[in-house]
Amino acid sequence: GAGVSQSPSNKVTEKGKDVELRCDPISGHTALYWYRQSLGQGLEFLIYFQGNSAPDKSGLPSDRFSAERTGGSVSTLTIQRTQQEDSAVYLCASSPSQASGRSGELFFGEGSRLTVL
Amino acid sequence: GENVEQHPSTLSVQEGDSAVIKCTYSDSASNYFPWYKQELGKRPQLIIDIRSNVGEKKDQRIAVTLNKTAKHFSLHITETQPEDSAVYFCAASGNNRLAFGKGNQVVVIP
């Protein structure tokens, strides 16, 4: 595809249910980020994958949140036992590898809007 | 890790005036400083970036300046137009992940 693809675009769930959010990065991009954005707020970092390195999970807010990236491509963010405060837009972004480990442009998906009732 | 702060949180300007947003960062090893624009209901998109080997970069009505000694960088928008109204995020990184500031809401008053 031409850009970062996220699914579902909208998800409404009941408190206590588990949800999975999917991100298809741009082909060949080695870096993948997940962010959470509540209404009118900034980009809250959740987790960062870079190539085959161990992911940076320092932003995950609780042990109910987990993410994996299979084969260095597709990533899934899982939220277990959802709470109302988990309601937000979850944004995924990918970035190509850069020479000498330098960062490059992030390409964001449209996001997955999660509503927990 | 890197800590990025933006100020002011909200900025209102008259159409045609200039807008300046400033960011500070904490990690002296950071060498890449992008700015992202997020319009209402849309995804953030890169508008300009600068690396530490230059002090200023321009692209039409926008420019970014970097002061590595003071560890701050600024976004300058000249001749503002209504379509410049958005949230602007600065970010910084070295060899690790990109760290974003909390964003600035820019409102251009027609």
- For residue B67 the two structure tokens come to 């002061």
Shortest distance, CA B67 to any CA of chain A (angstroms): 19
- Asked if B98's CB is within 8 angstroms of A106's CB, the reply is yes
Query: Could you tell me whether strands A75-79 and A65-69 are parallel, antiparallel, or unpaired per DSSP bridges?
Result: antiparallel
pLDDT tens, position by position, A65-108? 999 998 879 999 999 999 999 999 999 999 987 544 555 789 99
| Three-state SS at A86 | helix
pLDDT, mean over chain A: 91
Shortest distance, CA B100 to any CA of chain A (angstroms): 7
* Integer CA distances (angstroms), A65 to A7, A59, B15, B50, in order: 17, 10, 44, 34
pLDDT at A16 over 70: yes
Shortest distance, CA A6 to any CA of chain B (angstroms): 12
Residues of A in contact with B23 (CB under 8 A): none
Instruction: Tell me chain A's radius of gyration from C-alpha atoms.
Output: 14
Residues of B in contact with A45 (CB under 8 A): 97, 99-100
Interface check for A108 against chain B (CB to CB < 8 A): the answer is yes
pLDDT tens, position by position, B57-92? 999 999 999 999 999 999 999 999 999 999 999 999
Q: Which of A42, A50, A56 sits opposite B100 (nearest CB)?
A: A42
- Report the pLDDT value the prediction gives residue A9, as an integer from 0 to 100: 97
Q: Higher pLDDT residue, B107 or A71?
A: B107
Choose from A4, A46, A103 for mutation: most chain B CBs within 10 A.
A103
List all residues 6 or more positions away from A2 whose beta carbon is below 8 Å from its beta carbon: none
Q: Is A102 exposed, middle or buried (0-12, 13-18, 19+ CB in 10 A)?
A: middle
B51 alpha-carbon distance from chain centroid:
13
